């Protein structure tokens, strides 16, 4: 039940619940990956069940696809959908311009492709993810396995000329072996501490042979929804220049928690 959830889970749920209010019947929706996005999928599934909402969901990872199908959301591929009305996803960090670092869950490539193929991107998060400058969270860079050590060395060499505070890189591990993405690639996490020019860094990273994509999401997020542990939500729309406040009543949301007991 809601009372048994941690404050951070309550904040994630509040943001997710508010985000699905943007979804209308007939929409094609990008479904993000991660713990906050999982709450969104649950909330969306509840609307599908109770309102008989007809939507097509394009998941950004195999685990999101499995959850969506399990909860009764129609899942289609991006090729089938072609273009999306909205994508709702989480973020590891966001700055005042709503630039993001994503990829902590390892799905940054599909997440960026889906977000780019959407009319609108909504990010759901909690206040702890807001930063003045990106970079405290390690920046994920997806690389092909072939020659990954050379690619990593090229990344480190390039970082010398970038406006960053740190240049340490690590290969992401999973059970003592390299973490492998849904596309069969590796992830090099860059511990930069502070990124002075995210746009420049993103462009230069993607010019390095062996780099598939990086976790900087620049000019993609339109709305960020920040949830709080007491159900409070703040909606920032960068295109409209508006900030609105609201609240989610946990007492009215018992259905979504029924399968968590």
Consecutive H or E run containing 213: strand 211-214
Q: Is 103 labelled a binding residue?
A: yes
- Say how far apart CA 61 and CA 181 lie, in whole Å: 9
Backbone dihedral angles phi then psi of residue 163, each to the nearest 5 degrees: -85, 75
Q: Is 25 labelled a binding residue?
A: no
| CB of 28 closer than 8 Å to CB of 58 | yes
Q: What is the CA radius of gyration of the chain?
A: 18
Q: Is 102 labelled a binding residue?
A: yes
Q: Is 105 labelled a binding residue?
A: yes
| CB of 189 closer than 8 Å to CB of 137 | no
Catalytic residue, from 46, 51, 80, 111: name it: 111
Eight-state DSSP code of residue 85 = S
Give Cβ neighbours of residue 50 (< 8 Å, ≥ 6 apart).
255
Q: Is 151 labelled a binding residue?
A: no
**Residue 157 in tokens:** 């060499």
CB hemisphere CA count around 42 (13 angstroms): 20
- Number of alpha helices (DSSP H) and beta strands (DSSP E) in the chain: 7, 16
Eight-state DSSP code of residue 90 = -
- Say how far apart CA 195 and CA 76 lie, in whole Å: 36
| CB of 202 closer than 8 Å to CB of 196 | no
The structure tokens 């240049």 sit at: 167
Q: Is 90 labelled a binding residue?
A: yes
Q: Is 147 labelled a binding residue?
A: no
Residue 111 bears catalytic tag: yes
Q: Is 89 labelled a binding residue?
A: yes
Q: Is 91 labelled a binding residue?
A: yes
**Feature table: binding site for substrate:** 33-36, 89-92, 102-105, 129
The catalytic residue positions are 111
**Feature table: binding site:** 33-36, 89-92, 102-105, 129
């Amino acid at each position: 039940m809601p009372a048994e959830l941690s404050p951070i889970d309550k904040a994630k749920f509040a943001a997710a619940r508010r985000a699905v209010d943007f979804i209308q019947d007939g929409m094609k929706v990008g479904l993000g990956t991660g713990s906050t996005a999982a709450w969104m999928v649950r909330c969306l599934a509840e609307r599908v069940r109770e309102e008989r909402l007809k939507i097509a969901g394009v998941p950004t990872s195999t685990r999101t696809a499995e959850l969506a199908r399990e909860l009764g959301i129609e899942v289609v591929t991006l090729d089938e959908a072609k273009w999306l009305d909205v994508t709702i996803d989480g973020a590891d960090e966001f700055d005042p311009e709503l630039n993001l670092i994503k990829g902590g869950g390892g799905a940054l490539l599909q997440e960026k492709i889906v977000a780019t193929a959407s009319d609108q991107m909504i990010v759901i998060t909690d206040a702890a993810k807001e930063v003045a400058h990106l970079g405290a969270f390690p920046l994920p860079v997806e690389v092909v396995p072939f020659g990954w050590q050379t690619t990593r060395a090229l990344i480190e060499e390039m970082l010398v000329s970038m406006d960053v505070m740190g240049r340490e890189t690590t290969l992401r591990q999973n059970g003592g072996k390299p973490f492998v993405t849904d596309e069969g690639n590796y992830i090099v996490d860059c511990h930069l501490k502070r990124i002075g020019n995210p746009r420049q860094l993103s462009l230069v990273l993607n010019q390095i042979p062996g780099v598939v994509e990086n976790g900087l999401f620049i000019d993609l997020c339109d709305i960020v929804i920040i949830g709080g542990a007491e159900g409070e939500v703040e909606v920032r729309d960068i295109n409209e220049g508006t900030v609105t406040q609201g609240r989610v009543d946990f007492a009215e949301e018992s259905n979504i928690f029924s399968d968590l007991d």
